Structure 1
Amino acid sequence: MRAFLEQQPRPELADALADLAVAALIDEAELSPKPALVDRRGNGAHSDLSLELMRVSAWSLWPAFRAMAVAGETHGKADQPLREAIGQAGRDGEAGMMAVTAGVNTHRGAIWALGLLTTAAALAPEANSAELAGVAAGLARLPDRLAPAQPTSHGEGVRQRYGVGGARAEAESGFPAVIERGLPQLRTSRNAGAGETHARLDALLAIMAGLDDTCVLHRAGPDGLACMQQGSAAVLSAGGSASLAGRRALKALEHDLLALNASPGGAADLLAATLFLDRLDHVRQAQIGSL
């Protein structure tokens, strides 16, 4: 990948990384059938979201992801000034997102996860997925001293109430849900002959099976979280979404989550991060093969 990226003018690298981040968000939104999440079939457990709104939101974030990539290239190392630069870019991106969604929070968690990974990819374009997650973790652990005080969010309230780490802890730990569960399951399912849709669904389920999803905890508490984790594991144990038994288990999982009004939005954000890193790997492999 380094050979490819070193041939590109710097603006084209930032553009390419922003393109990949937006594409990952759109691929996640369009993936169907996702349990209790917005997809091509409908709005899942959300009354304020739609697939078109998710697409519009994703495209609105392109300038923010590009700004983070440019910041990574400009600063050249994962230090405090870079952390504060991407923090401001993220806040600008969130403001733009809220403007196009009329105040609906469509991708706040994804800005955090994909923003860190996009910056890391600009800093270390030759790094593999685990290495990029490590660079992103180093950035996540730095304080954003310029961030204004904010009211307690739903996620923060859940973290305090239930003692879970949430999106911040996931990033600071190097995205284990992505590196240890999402990406391995995506590739395992592909290697087993599953089509791309089923492989991506299996990756989502692997993330859900081990994640303390604060979106689910906020909506449905510990019972909802147990339903999500156990139901996702059951789909994979039944053979994954490509098998008949797995599809039946997936349908049952969605029925149960909808009954609880529980939507695994945190897992969806991490699936987008998984797809982003997977796309980067494909770019790297394609360029190596062309040498």
Structure 2
Amino acid sequence: MSALAHVLPPAVRDVDSARLGRLAIASLHAELACAPKPGLVTPFNTGSHDDMDAGTFLRSLFALRHYFTDIARAGADDAPFARLRTLGIGAEAAMLHATGGINTHRGAIFSLGLLVAAAARCHRQHGHAVPAAQVCLAVQHWANDLAAAPLDAGSPGQRARLRHGVPGVREQAAAGYPLLRELAVPTLRHALHAGLPRDAALCQTLMQLVARVDDLNLLHRGGADGLAWAQQQARGFVDGGGAFAAGWQARLHRIGEGFVARRLSPGGSADLLACSWFLLQQEGA
């Protein structure tokens, strides 16, 4: 039993890890189902990808269904970071086995996994769910461990990060996910409160992210020029009213055609979108 468990009464220690795990999977499914998404896989097309489709993502989600519950339980138990990392490594292996070696959710295994663990840990400490921003900041509990953990220098994202000198998800996590706290979650919350349907609110948030994030997937596929082009397209969409404007879906379809022509896919932004939906949903857990 962890030191945290010794100081909290049983009622406070009761965390529904299975519910947090289900919310995580549902958030990844919401991101997949959302359309139109420039360059990204949806139930209707494969975007800029010729090696995966919606079925690939669904197989991956099925393989990950226990991971998020397990990492929530580890977070609630105040398990050491090594335990979280071991769970993440196992989840990645399960994903690759289910998809035939295709990386569908590596970024989400890392970021969403940490946020699920942090949400469970916060719930255990306080006896209730906490606001999204507090969950993001709680990830800083593992900042030193994140800095010390080995990197996969051979991954496309890490190669792009080093080549272009931009921070990656590890730096975002150690800083308490400022992109989620200051941009994505407020954008999504505002869009929903303003009455946009879920998919419209998600598309609005995605394009805000694409406009602002140094997305390593975009850098890997298109270099600095590809990233700059994608950001310009996203800013134009948002500045033109985004998903609040009439005909927004047709505009986003046209933008998507340009992404596909350039083989660009904002996968890092898509991961943050799923994380944003989870953070809002867990507030009611």
Unaligned runs of 5+ in 2: 1-9, 124-128
Aligned counterparts, 1:139-178, within 5 A: 139-143=142-146, 150-178=152-180
Q: Give the structure-2-normalised TM-score.
A: 0.88
Q: Which has the bigger relative contact order, CA under 8 A and spacing at least 6? A: 2
- The letter for the 2-side match of 1:267 is S
Structure 1 residue 247: Cα displacement = 3.5
Q: Match for residue 5 of structure 2?
A: none
Q: In the alignment, does 2:54 pair up with 1:56? A: no
Match of 1:72 among 72, 75, 79: 75
Give yes or no for contact 1:20–1:276 (8 Å, CA) kept in 2. yes
Give yes or no for contact 1:235–1:247 (8 Å, CA) kept in 2. no
After superposition, the CA RMSD in angstroms is 2.1
Structure 1 residue 202: Cα displacement = 0.4
Q: Match for residue 286 of structure 1?
A: none
Q: Percent identity?
A: 33
- The letter for the 1-side match of 2:77 is T
- Provide the aligned length of Structure 1 versus Structure 2: 271
SS in 2 for 1:142: helix
Structure 1 residue 241: Cα displacement = 2.0
Structure 2 CA distance, aligned partners of 1:153 and 1:34?
24
Give yes or no for contact 2:36–2:249 (8 Å, CA) kept in 1. no
- The letter for the 1-side match of 2:276 is T
Structure 1 residue 169: Cα displacement = 1.5
Match of 2:235 among 233, 244, 251: 233
SS in 1 for 2:176: coil
Structure 1 residue 140: Cα displacement = 4.2
Match of 2:84 among 83, 86, 96: 86
Structure 1 CA distance, aligned partners of 2:76 and 2:235?
40
Q: Match for residue 111 of structure 1?
A: 109
Unaligned runs of 5+ in 1: 76-80, 284-291
Aligned counterparts, 1:1-291, within 5 A: 6=11, 10=15, 13-75=16-78, 82-125=80-123, 126-143=129-146, 150-244=152-246, 246-283=248-285
SS in 2 for 1:34: coil
Structure 1 residue 146: Cα displacement = 7.3
Q: Give the structure-1-normalised TM-score.
A: 0.87
- The letter for the 1-side match of 2:61 is A
